[in-house]
Chains A and B, each alone.
Chain A
């Protein structure tokens, strides 16, 4: 078993007794996606003394990953390596092999979602299109979804019953798409009103009707997406006054900056979303009189959140470290701790090689040895599992209480985290 990872920090410790093989990925070299199949190796390490380590596996797939999604049996992962393709990797005998490449989009793919029950992949891209991919035999066949958007699609998610999916777009609209059996076609309905800026994230309520959206105008809105042919079948009583398509249930104006990463709790009682002003917002009793709580973060803003259970939320973002939030006995949400142990070391005083070469031409003397001097404190390196911003967090295992989840980031890594060994956190679950 080999572990391939190029360490950018000298003290990056992975495990006490795992044998480490370092492969130089050449961080600044382009187009690593072809070698991704051969180079990306599964690296599960469970060192004996690493009892407290939450990150149990780090996989390097590409130079940068936009988003990822797991197959229903968690043996395959679909990632977008920051271009217009989706790469599907399968884990076989401790190695990842690239089994499929889905190439239909023209521009970068902003969202991937893999439905659990029906095994369909939906992708949305900046080229205003969305495709639903069906697995037939050994191939994935795309079906174009006419979204009727005139700007990029930014996020996509299957509804809990997987008969609909929602797409948020830069056209300040949300598309709800459903399958029309007669025409064998995915049809979209637009929620046109209300958004003043791009819709960055969408999340479905467990009742399959409500969808929450966040936008770069800082507001989080909840809409009803009741569609007559699709939702009446499931015995939903139409006595509710909110069952009109596109009706806005509530608008939350808590953040003064852009809002991202909205998620519902498993029961649908609580809503959590993140603001770019380093705040995370928790809203209970979403309805005419919601109860909102703000939690301010000390560090950089978050990008996405995940509900582990009713009482625990993991947030990921620009800090490259997942943060754990939980409510205390009185129900006030607070920040508990970071999930990853950081070993702060003094980074080597060199900058990226291109810069030093270019600078070297203009500055005759070499000052790189002396740059580690007093005031110009060199940046503290992370020393954690992720080295660049974490953009996406997906659940992996667990039903009512998620025990494992995975994060992917701009450093091209997918890290699998396990909460079983974190005793202090298990108490609050």
Chain B
């Protein structure tokens, strides 16, 4: 009854919802993040076949438009979730800890939101009163991509200091994690942070496929050179 029906807020395309609270379509405001669901996480699942109706070109357009939708969904969720404030620790005096990592006071945590593009790609956003944790699972089609992703993201995670919002270790089950605290929001603009994260997600895919291509190319060149001696 109290959700706005502004069409600009709903991402284009339909989303299948696995929860009863159909207000997932409205990402502004923390109505769904604040609600105490009983059925656990809310899952937003993008169905690929829906987009076949919208496009004229082939598979590339399908991937592109579902990527856009996925990223818009994440962006809207982050805009609602990244409302952080300074909050001293309730458990330990004179300390200030990111509550999403601590998880001792359940009233300070909000419901985590899981956004799935397909079975392989997922994004988990957990929020609390002073911090937000975003974990990504990147698409890994074959073994080579698996190794490349792991090495590349490990390379980035080790240099997490330079990124400030990156977490050194990804959450169990995911490839990379971000930890945004209220201090980050005070120093930097929220919109720019969200832009960074969304851009990061876009570029990860391109980077992994570039790496894979270069590995394959090099392998082919090396093999050709090696086998030339047997000609």
Contacts and interface: CB of A to CB of B under 8 A. Distances in A.
B4 A298 contact: yes
A55 interface: no
A343 interface: no
Given A128-B94, A216-B129, A387-B189, A379 B85 contact: no
B230 to A, nearest CB: 36
A389 B188 CA distance: 11
A297 B29 contact: yes
Q: Chain A interface secondary structure, helix, strand, loop or mixed?
A: loop
B110 A151 contact: no
Contacts of B64: 375
B186 interface: yes
Contacts of B2: 279, 294, 296
B219 interface: no
Nearest to B191: A379
A279 B189 CA distance: 24
B107 A196 contact: yes
Interface string B158-172: 010011100000000
Contacts of B129: 216, 258
A14 B63 CA distance: 44
Contacts of A203: none
Nearest to A358: B162
Contact of B187 (A28, A371, A377, A387): A28
A391 B2 CA distance: 25
A275 B35 CA distance: 12
A300 B28 contact: yes
A410 interface: yes
Contacts of B93: 128, 150-152
Interface in B172-191: 185-191
B148 interface: no
B107 A375 contact: no
Contacts of A363: 203, 207
A251 interface: no
B96 interface: yes
B189 to A, nearest CB: 7
Contacts of B31: 277-278, 296
A277 B30 contact: yes
A375 to B, nearest CB: 3
A198 B88 CA distance: 10
Interface string B31-75: 101111000000000000000000000000000110110011000
Given A300-B83, A301-B30, A376-B198, A197 B105 contact: yes
Nearest to B4: A298
B28 A299 contact: yes
Contact of A63 (B29, B88, B187): B187
B6 interface: yes
A100 B164 CA distance: 34
Interface in A119-175: 126-128, 150-152, 154, 170, 172
Given A296-B2, A352-B192, A375-B72, A151 B29 contact: no
A170 B90 contact: yes
B73 to A, nearest CB: 12
Nearest to A387: B189
Given A107-B94, A297-B29, 13 more contacts: A64-B186, A154-B88, A170-B90, A277-B30, A298-B4, A301-B83, A351-B199, A354-B164, A355-B196, A359-B200, A371-B199, A374-B68, A379-B195
The 7 closest A-B pairs by CB, nearest first: A375-B68, A257-B34, A278-B29, A379-B191, A152-B88, A277-B34, A296-B2
25 contacts: A8-B189, A82-B186, A110-B86, A170-B90, A256-B35, A258-B108, A258-B129, A277-B29, A277-B31, A277-B33, A277-B34, A278-B29, A347-B191, A349-B195, A351-B195, A354-B162, A354-B164, A355-B163, A355-B196, A359-B200, A363-B203, A367-B203, A371-B199, A379-B191, A389-B85
